Every structure is written in structure tokens, then in C-alpha cells.
A and B are shown apart, each in its own frame.
Chain A
Amino acid sequence: MKNKPYSITIKELVERGRNNIPEECISSTHLIYNSPAALAFNSPGAEGFGVKRAGLAIPGSVMLLIGPGCCGRNTTILSEMSGYSDRFFFYIMDETDIVTGRHLTKIPQAVKEVCEALDTLPTVVMICMTCVDALLGTDMERVCRKAAMYVGIPVVPCYMYALTREGRKPPMVAVRQAVYSLLEKREKQASMVNILGYFSPLMNECEIYPLLRQMGIKKINELSRCKTIEEYKSMAAANFNLILHPESRLAAQDLQEKLGIPSIELTRMYQIDKIQKQYYILAKTLGTVIDDSIYAAEARNAVTKFVQSHKNVIFAVGEMMNGNSFELALALVRYGLCVAEIYSNLGTEDYVFLKQLAALSPNTRVFSNLSPSMLYYEDTGNRIHVTVGKDAAYYHPHAVHVLWTEEEQPFGYAGVTKLFKKLQEALDTEGGDLQ
């Protein structure tokens, strides 16, 4: 079909089943349209946290990128960001390096020169590797060990292998393993927990902090809140890890094997009843009870207020935002709102939400952000009133937007409250006669 974006209804998707996802929704079967809406997929370094920025999560760390010049190109943006200038260095490979592998012998000296160029010795040098070394089959662990011995500080490999994006260990999973890899066994502190998942902190008002305290937790660690290397290292004493993002599962598994820290996984959701259920299960697992009524009520009030005043608005939900687009769409529909379109990179794990959506909103259309046919997506005027997500905003420039891409991570009831307050605010100020 020429000049038309591919889309499919939720009902059709569910009827086809998770084992028969249309090829247009499977990124490995087609070329990838790198729309402004899809940039976060192909170049996460240009938006939010990609491997390069995430790899610098350890306090006092610096990064040496080993690769062709093109692989470090977007680092210019990062270098200008507060906290990242003077933390990126490059060894720019040429064709001779690729043919002879000579760059590998130069890495220890390069690390040494990087350290010498800095006013204070870094706590760790992250070595960022690219697709080139993935194809060359470089044993980077060995190279880093040699460099570490040469300079006397830790040198850690950080794999930016885009070729493995859909494999068992995609780059954003590997980088999460890398940033926790320096933790060494310490005596356990029963009242300490690590929150794993994001490279920026949870929103300060998130109820997870007081709820964990109700459960007897006194010290809650987040990598992004660690200001010193000692604070970072103290994470090794945690009694358990809370995984808030599935890409942290392998890192948590490493910590279980290496340091004996078990983990519990929570999912970011926008359905209040599911959030509540999740907290109760967590409390039960820890053998305690919690009172989350204030937080749940606040979230319910924000939702009710919004629905009462903006019941008839039509949403488009994208994936460039802090949430799962299908889960958020399901939450909106369950609150009595209408979601006309979803832009997302569909996976089999999304079917748990799709099945429920099919019962409530079967005609919601799903577009694949990465499909080449999205080149022809046109905003047809006033069909969509509100967008959530940067991609949805791109497709509907005239709608009211809540980008929902803040670095401070929303979670739990506080996430719901904040989202609906933002929606309320956006529609009250920009929505005109949509009320």
C-alpha cells in the first residue's frame, strides 16, 4: 500500500496472537525508519540515557571510547551537558587498527594518558566498545585487565554493540551489568536496599521511599544519587535489590551470584489497583504490612478530577515516555478515557496488556514507530486532542502535549498523580474548548 502508514487494531492484534505478530511490527524484518519519533531507539545517546551516558553512572568515572570516529559523534551533545564535560575521551580507530588489531595493544597507554590529562585520578575508566570490536571478537575483559594493571585503577569494559540489540544481552542490559560490576562483597546490612533500573533518581515525592521505611528499611540506595565512590561501594552491603526496570535483571543476577544479594522486581504501572497489589505483594514477601492509603487516595483524586473535567478528550500514546505505552493506554481506558492511537515497538510481553485493551478498546490502532511506512503518517487535524510521549507529540503537532520524558523517574502512585496533574494543567491551559 503506497504512501500509507501501516497500522492494525488492538482487536486484530489479539486475534492474531502473540505468535503471529505482523511483520510490519517486527523490527528485524524491515528497514528501520529513523523518524524523529524513533530516535530514542536508534540513537539513545542523543536522547536520555544511552550506553555512553549510562556508562558514566559510577561517581568519578571517565570513559574512553574505542571505535571509528562515527561512533563517538553524538558525544558532542553529552560533552556539553553539565557533569559530563571532561569525562569523554576517544581513541579513533582507523582501517589499520581494524586489520591488525593494533589498537588493543595501545589501550593501556591511552588509558594512562587520559589519567594524566585529568586534574584528579578517575575512580574507574570505562572502555566503551563498538560494533567493530564485536565483529572482531575482541576479548575486552582481558584488554581491560591489562590496562587496569598498567594504570593501577579499575578499567571496565562497556559494550555498545548495537548489533546485539535484540539478543539476550542488548547494550542497555550490558551497561547495567558494567556499572554494578565494581561492587565487592561487604557485610550485609539488614535494613538496606538498592533500587536498580534507572540512571536518574526516582521522583523525590515517590511513595516507595516512605513505604520501604514502613517495611523497616532505613537506607535506600540508588546509583544516580551516589555522590562518591564510597557511597557507590556501600551498595554492596544491601540486603536485597529492587528491580524497577527489566533491563536490570541480569545485573541483579550478577549481584546475586557475586555478592549474594537477592532481588525482587516491581513494574512501573499507571493502573492504581495494580500498583496497590504490587506493593501488598512486596510487603507480604518481606513479612510486613503497609499502609499506602494516603498515596493511593491522592492518585485516585488526581485521576477522578481529570476524568470529570476532560472525559471526552481523545488520546494518542507514544513510547518515547516514562512508561509502557500499552500499559498506560490500558490505564487511561480503564479510567474511562479514549485512546485512539498507540505508537510503539510491539513485543510479545505486551500481550498481557493487549488482551485487556482488546476487551475495552478494540478499535484503538497500533502503529509501529520503526516501520518505513511511518514516513507517510499525517496528522489529520483535530482527531487527537492530547498526546503523551515525545513521539506522539511529533505525529500530532497541533494537539496538547504531555511529553512525560523527564529524567526524574515517575513511579507508583506518585507517577500517576503527577501524570494526571500534568495532563490537567496542559489541557486547562492549552486545551481551549476541549473540556
Chain B
Amino acid sequence: MKGLWKYISPFAPDQSGACSVFYGLGGIVVIVDAGGCAGNVCGFDEPRWFGKKSAIFSAGLRDMDAILGRDTLLVEKLCAAAADTNAMFAVFVGTPVPAVIGTDYQALRRMAEKKLRLPVMTVDTTGMNLYDVGIEKAYLELFRTFAAASGPIQPETVGVIGATPLDMTCLEDPLHIENMLIGQGWSRVLIYGRNGLSNIQQAGVVAKNLVIAPAGMAAAVYLEKKFGTPYTTAYPVLKKNWVCDFTGKKILIVHQQILANALRQQLLEAGASAVTVASWFMLNAALKEPYDIALREEEDFIQLADNQTYDIVIGDGLFRKALKHFMGMYLELPHFAVSGRM
């Protein structure tokens, strides 16, 4: 049945993706929910939460707030929190509750900006889309609000889009990427999402952007249009130590597209006969091979892989549970947005 998932637990939702972009940027993030969504974001989808404090708050909506649409009360709560905090901005992140009651985010933003005298953003996530949709919306909102042509292009500066824990193999990957880019001759690396808002504000001066996850593509396209900044895609620090002979093997990879493409390249070089990328997440047409597969339901994956079509399946360990008849080799490649593990 469409919609019924029997083996695989739900993936990180769009509000988690949006929050991962705003994390640690120095603003107040208000998740417009009753509490459970914020709990899931902080307790499950944000690995940095237990090591680094960030002003992520739940709106703490109650039934009458939702029924009566008490946006004024929400804005008052935000103002009270802002009075205790040195925030650079505020952002409202949506959940199923505002989606169902039809919250007017533009009105909410205007009301809050008027009272707060801070830049206020809104992200209309619904909890019904996947994390990458939220990441995409959040990056766009950030760059639209804060990126400015603050000077001439710096030819030795590169920007990195998409470095959120939900799309990386480990929390140290941004550092590894930075070192690698410096090793390639770039003198400054601006990883958007690090160094507070500063890197975002300087997005107009970078010579090139590197996109490491498909959720960053829309922002890269926006920056190209606005500042003429070219971009490229790669996941340059992928290292797997599988002891395995890939020669002549048919392989299926299920992961975020740019990382999966990087792995495909490595596997083909290692002698694999065919490598297919499949994903429930964004599959950008420009980065997709004709035989790559967009998954929608759990059943799509079972039909694709729970048989002998592939010799090897590579993906998060959580997917394995759905492959009761697959007799080939399963290689685990953790995806935080899937299992909450790196």
C-alpha cells in the first residue's frame, strides 16, 4: 500500500534539515510546534546538540494556540527570548501544525520584524517532506537575506555548500574538505554554516562554490545568478576501507546523490561492471545517470533490491531490514538522515 512502511523507519524530515542549516549561526531558531518536533530535531537529528549550545526553541504551541491562530502570542514569546539573547536574527521553522492550520508565514515574519528590529526569516517546512527539502529552503532563505556583494571577487576563496551532518559521513568532514581544498591551492575556504553568519555574508566574493549535497544545488544556482559565482559538485573526502573485490560486480548505492556519485566513480575505477544510484532524496537531473532510480515508497526499494539483480548493495544499515530475500553482499554506508548514525 502506498504510504505504508513496514521495515524502514521515517527519514529526517524537512524541519530537521532546515534547523541543521541554521545551527550555530547566532540566531534564534523557533520550531513552530507543540514540542515533539523540536524534541526530535534536537534529540535525534542534530548530532551537535549535545556538544555545542544553540538557541533552538520550541514554540510550545497548545491546542488553543492552534485553534485560535495566536500568532501574536508567538511573536511575544520570541521577543521575550530575544531580550535575553544576543541574537543576530530569528527564524521560524514550520512543522505539521502550522501546515494544517495554514499559518501565514509572511505575516508572521512582518509582525516579528516590526517588534524585534532584527532580520526575521521563515521556512515553510511541513514535516511531510524529507530533510533535503528543508536544507534547500533554509540555504536559499539565508543567502537571500544575508549574502551581499561585499567587495571584489577573491580569486583564491572557495565556498562550500551542503555541509550539514545530515548529508556527511562524519562531523569532521568539513575540516577534511577544508584541508583538501587548501591542499589544492585555495587560500580561503568558506564553509557556509561555520563561523556564524560571516561566511554567508561573504558569499558574494568567492570565486567558486563547491556543492557536496544535492540539497545545496538550488542555493548554488541562486548565487550563480546573483553574483555570477560558478559552482561544481563533488564529495571530495569519501574514503571507505571495504576489503572487497568489486571486479565485474553489479552494485546499487542508496545515499545522497553527490556522495553516491563520488562512490560510483571509485567503484567503477575499482572494476565494477555497473553501478546504479537510487535515492528517496533529491536526484538532480544534471547529476543523474539515465539508469539511476528515484525511490518514493519503501516498496519501490524492496522491488528494486530484494532479489538477485545486484551483487552488492551499499547503503545505511537500516535499509537492510527491508531486504529479506537479498542474498548478495550488503556494505554499510551510514547516512545520518536515515538512521541517525554516522
Q: Which residues of A contact B (CB under 8 A)?
A: 1-4, 6, 27-34, 36, 39, 41-47, 67-77, 79, 88-95, 97-98, 103, 106, 109-110, 113-114, 117, 130-132, 134-136, 160-167, 370, 372-373, 375-376
Roughly how many angstroms separate A77 CA and B126 CA in the complex, as a whole number? 23
Contact A106 B97 (CB under 8 A): no
Contact A76 B340 (CB under 8 A): yes
Contact B57 A33 (CB under 8 A): yes
Pick from B33, B37, B39, B62 the residue with the most CB of A within 10 Å. B39
Using CB atoms, name the residue of chain A closest to B30.
A31
- B15 touches A (CB below 8 Å): yes
Residues of the A chain whose Cβ atoms lie less than 8 Å from the Cβ of B57: 31-34, 372
Roughly how many angstroms separate A75 CA and B60 CA in the complex, as a whole number? 21
Using CB atoms, name the residue of chain A closest to B9.
A76
Using CB atoms, name the residue of chain A closest to B61.
A163
Residues of the B chain whose Cβ atoms lie less than 8 Å from the Cβ of A165: 34-35, 62
14 residue pairs of the A-B complex, CB under 8 angstroms, read A31-B30, A31-B77, A31-B81, A36-B50, A42-B36, A73-B40, A73-B45, A76-B339, A110-B4, A113-B4, A163-B66, A167-B62, A370-B60, A373-B84
Using CB atoms, name the residue of chain A closest to B44.
A74
Contact A43 B36 (CB under 8 A): yes
Using CB atoms, name the residue of chain B closest to A24.
B80
Given A31-B58, A113-B6, also A41-B44 (CB < 8 A): no
- B271 touches A (CB below 8 Å): no
Roughly how many angstroms separate A41 CA and B58 CA in the complex, as a whole number? 11
Residues of the A chain whose Cβ atoms lie less than 8 Å from the Cβ of B39: 34, 39, 41-46, 74
Contact B85 A372 (CB under 8 A): yes
Residues of the A chain whose Cβ atoms lie less than 8 Å from the Cβ of B15: 70
Residues of the A chain whose Cβ atoms lie less than 8 Å from the Cβ of B37: 70
Using CB atoms, name the residue of chain B closest to A5.
B84
Contact A375 B5 (CB under 8 A): no
The 8 Å CB contact of B100, one of A4, A71, A135, is A135
- B16 touches A (CB below 8 Å): yes
Prevailing SS type, chain B contact patch:
mixed
Number of A-B contacts (CB under 8 A): 216
- B 10-27 to A, binary, CB cutoff 8 A, 1 in contact else 0: 111111100000000000
User: What are the 9 A-B residue pairs with the smallest beta carbon separation, nearest first?
Assistant: A43-B39, A42-B39, A70-B13, A70-B127, A162-B34, A69-B10, A31-B57, A46-B43, A76-B9
Using CB atoms, name the residue of chain B closest to A85.
B321
Roughly how many angstroms separate A433 CA and B6 CA in the complex, as a whole number? 55
Residues of the A chain whose Cβ atoms lie less than 8 Å from the Cβ of B12: 73
The 8 Å CB contact of B95, one of A4, A70, A92, A117, is A70
- B148 touches A (CB below 8 Å): no
Contact A3 B4 (CB under 8 A): no
- B3 touches A (CB below 8 Å): yes
Residues of the B chain whose Cβ atoms lie less than 8 Å from the Cβ of A41: 35, 39
Contact B3 A92 (CB under 8 A): yes
Residues of the B chain whose Cβ atoms lie less than 8 Å from the Cβ of A89: 4-6
Residues of the B chain whose Cβ atoms lie less than 8 Å from the Cβ of A117: 6
Classify chain B's interface size: 35 or more
Query: Nearest Cβ distance between residue B240 and chain A, in whole angstroms?
Result: 23
Query: Nearest Cβ distance between residue B295 and chain A, in whole angstroms?
Result: 13
Using CB atoms, name the residue of chain B closest to A373.
B84
Contact A375 B85 (CB under 8 A): yes
- B160 touches A (CB below 8 Å): no
Contact B36 A31 (CB under 8 A): no
Q: A73-B11, A90-B5 are in contact. List 15 more A-B contacts (CB 8 A).
A: A2-B86, A31-B57, A34-B35, A34-B57, A36-B50, A43-B40, A74-B43, A74-B44, A76-B44, A98-B99, A106-B1, A113-B6, A164-B62, A164-B63, A372-B81
Contact A68 B16 (CB under 8 A): no
Using CB atoms, name the residue of chain B closest to A160.
B36
Query: Nearest Cβ distance between residue A324 and chain B, in whole angstroms?
Result: 21
Using CB atoms, name the residue of chain B closest to A89.
B6
Roughly how many angstroms separate A106 CA and B5 CA in the complex, as a whole number? 13
Contact A163 B56 (CB under 8 A): no
Using CB atoms, name the residue of chain A closest to B81.
A372
Query: Nearest Cβ distance between residue B134 and chain A, in whole angstroms?
Result: 10
Given A42-B35, A43-B43, A70-B16, also A3-B86 (CB < 8 A): yes
Using CB atoms, name the residue of chain B closest to A394.
B50
Using CB atoms, name the residue of chain B closest to A27.
B60
B window 169-199: CB within 8 A of A: none
Contact B127 A71 (CB under 8 A): yes
Residues of the A chain whose Cβ atoms lie less than 8 Å from the Cβ of B9: 72-73, 75-76, 79, 88, 90
Using CB atoms, name the residue of chain A closest to B318.
A76
Residues of the B chain whose Cβ atoms lie less than 8 Å from the Cβ of A73: 9-13, 16, 40, 44-45
The 8 Å CB contact of B40, one of A6, A46, A92, is A46
Residues of the B chain whose Cβ atoms lie less than 8 Å from the Cβ of A160: 36
Roughly how many angstroms separate A156 CA and B40 CA in the complex, as a whole number? 25
Contact A68 B13 (CB under 8 A): yes
Residues of the B chain whose Cβ atoms lie less than 8 Å from the Cβ of A79: 9
Roughly how many angstroms separate A73 CA and B57 CA in the complex, as a whole number? 19
Contact B5 A92 (CB under 8 A): yes
Contact A93 B3 (CB under 8 A): yes
Roughly how many angstroms separate A44 CA and B35 CA in the complex, as a whole number? 10
Contact A136 B100 (CB under 8 A): yes
Contact A91 B49 (CB under 8 A): no
Roughly how many angstroms separate A140 CA and B86 CA in the complex, as a whole number? 45
Contact B128 A69 (CB under 8 A): yes
Roughly how many angstroms separate A42 CA and B5 CA in the complex, as a whole number? 25
- B 63-105 to A, binary, CB cutoff 8 A, 1 in contact else 0: 1001000000000011011011110000000011101110000
Roughly how many angstroms separate A93 CA and B38 CA in the complex, as a whole number? 19
Residues of the A chain whose Cβ atoms lie less than 8 Å from the Cβ of B4: 89-91, 110, 113-114
- B114 touches A (CB below 8 Å): no
Using CB atoms, name the residue of chain B closest to A65.
B10
- B142 touches A (CB below 8 Å): no
The 8 Å CB contact of A95, one of B1, B81, B128, is B128
- B 96-139 to A, binary, CB cutoff 8 A, 1 in contact else 0: 11011100000000000000000000000011101000000000
Roughly how many angstroms separate A132 CA and B96 CA in the complex, as a whole number? 7
- B55 touches A (CB below 8 Å): yes
- B42 touches A (CB below 8 Å): yes
Roughly how many angstroms separate A381 CA and B102 CA in the complex, as a whole number? 48
Residues of the B chain whose Cβ atoms lie less than 8 Å from the Cβ of A372: 55, 57, 80-81, 84-85
Roughly how many angstroms separate A27 CA and B77 CA in the complex, as a whole number? 11
Residues of the B chain whose Cβ atoms lie less than 8 Å from the Cβ of A34: 35, 38-39, 41-43, 56-58
Contact A71 B5 (CB under 8 A): no
